Structure formats: C-alpha cells, structure tokens
Amino acid sequence: MEQTAMVMDIQRFSIHDGPGIRTTVFLKGCHMSCLWCHNPESQYAKPQLMFYEAQCIGCGRCVKKCIRYTFKKKTRPNTQIHVLYEPDLKICRDCEQMRSCAENCPSEALRLCGRTMTVQEVMTEIEKDVDCYIDGGGVTFSGGEPLLQSAFLKEILPKCAEKKISVCLDTTLEVMWEKIEPLLPYVGLFLVDVKILNPEKASVYQGICYKNMPKNLKRLSDLNIPVIIRVPLAKGINDTPEEIERRETLLKSLTNIIRIDSFYVSNHGASKYKALQKEMMWKASVADEKSDQLDIGGIK
C-alpha cells in the first residue's frame, strides 16, 4: 500500500528553505511546543479547523451544516457586517464533518488545515515546479517535524532522486537515528534548528529537552553531510552567555556546517493562534523583531 502523509501546506517559490527556488512541503505534527512557534497549526498531527473571524460574513451556512451545534451568534459593533457565527473549535476537533464545513464556507472564514496525501499526489505537486529548480533549487520537506513521518519520506525521497530533484530536510533532528539513516542517500542538505540547550529551560519554553539532536548532528558531521544551523533567539531565554557557550561547545566540534543563521523570534504567528482559539504565550517586543547572524568558530 502506498504511504500517505498528513500535509499542512505546499508552498511554491520558496527562497528561504534551502538553495535556489524551492517547493516546501510542510508535514503536519510536531513533538515540540515552542512558545514562539509561528506555525502553531503545525503541532497537531491531525486535520483541524481554523476560524478567521474577520472574514466571516454572517451568512449562517455553517450553522445549518453543523451536526454538533457548536456555532454561537456574536455581534460586531461598528462594522459593516454586524453578525458573525463563531465555532467552538474544541468541539470541532474530532468531528468527521470538518472538511465539508470548511468547504461550505463561502468567505473562507472556516478553513481546514491538514489533508492526507499519497506519495504520488505530493510528487505531482512537486513536479509542477520542476522548471524552477534549474539553478540549484528543489524540494524541502519541513513541518512540523517531517521526521515524525519518516515512513512517508522513505518512500518519496527515492522518487525525487529518480527525477533528479534535490532534497533539503528542515528538521529538529530530535528523533532516533534509525529514522534518519535510511534517508541519507537522498538528502543533499539538512536545515537544523538549535533552540534551547539548557534542559530546564527547554522543557518550559519548547516543551521537551534535547536527547537525540546533539548525537545526530555529530553523526551527520562524521558523514560530512552539509548542514545549515538555524538559531531562533528568544530575548532573555537563549541569547544569554550560558546558552551561547553551550551552542559554541556543540557546534565548534562539527566540520560540516555551511553557515549558522540566527534571528530573533517575533509575534508573526499571532493571527494563527487566534484562528485556533489559542493564546500566543510568547510576546516579543518590536525591538526583538530583528535579524542577526551568530559568529561561531569562524562561520557566519
């Protein structure tokens, strides 16, 4: 039976997810829960509804369609459309009619995030962009954490190789090596996030502490497989002297690092948290929303 994946999105003409122009396939599901995550819809490994209140036109089609009576009528004063219908997404979470509810919404205020796709369906989408890959581009599998769907990757990556499509893998590497090793012949570049190395801080701010990532980075270095390190900086959390020293200790021992990018995290995902009816726990200041690069061991 052909492998399937839970796909969050397929983004075309990406220029920040590896070399050249790339097609980025976002696989849904992540074992981390970083407080600053700008794609919170990537964390849950199943389809889920999102509600964009500003786009609701108050037509009531969702109310008629809903089998769980989850929608509540609300008023919006001082707006052209005064009435909206807001769902309780906790009730919707395991409803079998989520897709039809989203498709029934004419203004796309209700959207379904996540769909099951076969290897061939994803390959068809990737191959639509093959003419854009001539200058070193290709496909990047991202997430979420794509290695949580390693069986799917194990089947699709050889097909990418057959078509001479280069592959990047955007990952935390926080999985067992057994999930990574079979993919190595097909991955030209790893994009690896290194977030918080202090175990106590990591448990609080990213949900888990690293157990596998340092060992897996070392293995990739021993095999001389190219890696770009990304360091999302949270003000006062992992830009401290202690965290910088931990990163230096880890990264200076590696010989396969192409470059290290660092950047301060932002509030750019705030609208998605609202659409999921969640609160974004991380509040970055405007001053924090800047880009920078970290110079470690002579690499920038």
H-state helical runs in 210-263 = 213-222, 241-251
Question: Of 265, 298, 295, 275, which is closest to residue 36 (Cα–Cα)?
Answer: 265
The answer to whether residue 290 scores a pLDDT higher than 60 is no
Q: Which residue has the tokens 């974004």?
A: 280
Report residue 50: phi and psi, to 5°: -125, 145
pLDDT at 300: 34
The answer to whether residue 292 scores a pLDDT higher than 70 is no
What is the per-residue pLDDT across 85-106, written as a single tens digit (0 to 9) for each? Answer: 999 999 999 899 999 999 999 9
User: Please, which residues bridge with residue 166 across strands?
Assistant: 138
Cis peptide before 144 (omega within 30 of 0): yes
> Taking a C-beta distance cutoff of 8 angstroms, is the pair 190, 228 a contact?
yes
What is the per-residue pLDDT across 264-286, written as a single tens digit (0 to 9) for each? Answer: 998 888 999 999 999 998 887 64
Residues shown for the chain: 300
The answer to whether residue 158 scores a pLDDT higher than 70 is yes
What is the per-residue pLDDT across 17-71, written as a single tens digit (0 to 9) for each? Answer: 999 999 999 999 999 999 999 999 999 999 999 999 999 999 999 999 899 889 9
Q: Report pTM.
A: 0.91
The answer to whether residue 289 scores a pLDDT higher than 70 is no
Q: Tell me how far CA of residue 20 lies from CA of 153, 172, 183, 207, in angstroms.
A: 21, 22, 21, 33
Whole-angstrom distance, CA of residue 64 vs CA of residue 126: 38
> Taking a C-beta distance cutoff of 8 angstroms, is the pair 14, 142 a contact?
no
Per DSSP, 85 falls in state E
Q: Tell me how far CA of residue 97 lies from CA of 47, 48, 50, 102, in angstroms.
A: 11, 11, 14, 9
Whole-angstrom distance, CA of residue 50 vs CA of residue 128: 28
Tokens of 83: 């009435």
Neighbours of 297 (CB within 10 A): 12
User: Which residues have C-beta within 8 Å of that of residue 105, sequence separation ≥ 6?
Assistant: 61, 62, 111
Q: Which residue has the tokens 């796909």?
A: 7
